[in-house]
Chains A and B, each alone.
Chain A
Amino acid sequence: EPEVTQTPSHQVTQMGQEVILRCVPISNHLYFYWYRQILGQKVEFLVSFYNNEISEKSEIFDDQFSVERPDGSNFTLKIRSTKLEDSAMYFCASSYPGPGTEAFFGQGTRLTVV
């Protein structure tokens, strides 16, 4: 069964460092997303990506964040200068277009900023 894969499963980084979280979406999906879940809080939408550009982003997705689809298979989230409050589980997802479409999620990357 096709699945979304994320690497690494756990990343520890020092405050101020740049991190790149990687995702391989399901191959024939067209929409790609990043969500995050701070410990004990809700899963929050960060950004969606379609046709090689950002289609929607939340208030959380400020200038320190960027996304890229560098080739035909990978989808990355870069955090330029990490802060302690960026510590969270980050989920990548992909979907077909269409109303009521469900997202298929990866296992998540736990980011710990120290």
Chain B
Amino acid sequence: AQSVTQLDSHVSVSEGTPVLLRCNYSSSYSPSLFWYVQHPNKGLQLLLKYTSAATLVKGINGFEAEFKKSETSFHLTKPSAHMSDAAEYFCVVSGHSGGGADGLTFGKGTHLIIQP
């Protein structure tokens, strides 16, 4: 069994300040972890993924996330927020050892608001 908890349903930051979106997971397997972003009226876009290589993962648009097994966390960060970062962010865990994405479990999402 696997689950994902996104600790904040909404996060509001000022433009130019750091972003932190928190995610904790549980998984019976060695997990793969993903962050997806959904802009209004758009599909889900992959930001970054962790698949048991380096624990600090860099993604698109300046985002990065650190896998911490001891804390079962995979928090998403960005040093300086931009207005275009305003969107819904989903933390996703996959615990299947096999192929495909049918083992993906989504968090409820965090709505990121950027204040000018």
Contact = CB atoms under 8 A, between A and B. Distances in A.
Interface of A: 3-4, 6, 31, 33, 35, 41-45, 47-48, 50, 55-56, 91, 93, 95-108
B90 interface: yes
Nearest to B33: A100
Contact of B102 (A55, A96, A106, A108): A55
A100 B44 contact: no
A50 B100 contact: yes
Contacts, number: 73
A102 B46 contact: yes
Contacts of B94: 100
Contacts of A99: 32, 51, 96-99
B60 interface: no
A100 B106 contact: no
Interface of B: 32, 34, 36, 41-46, 49, 51-52, 90, 94, 96-102, 104-109
B43 to A, nearest CB: 4
B36 A105 contact: yes
A3 B49 CA distance: 18
B100 A48 contact: yes
Return the 10 tightest CB-CB contacts between A and B, nearest first: A97-B99, A100-B51, A100-B32, A48-B102, A103-B101, A105-B44, A43-B106, A107-B43, A31-B100, A56-B102
A90 to B, nearest CB: 11
Given A98-B99, A100-B94, A42 B107 contact: yes
A42 B96 CA distance: 19
Contacts of A104: 46
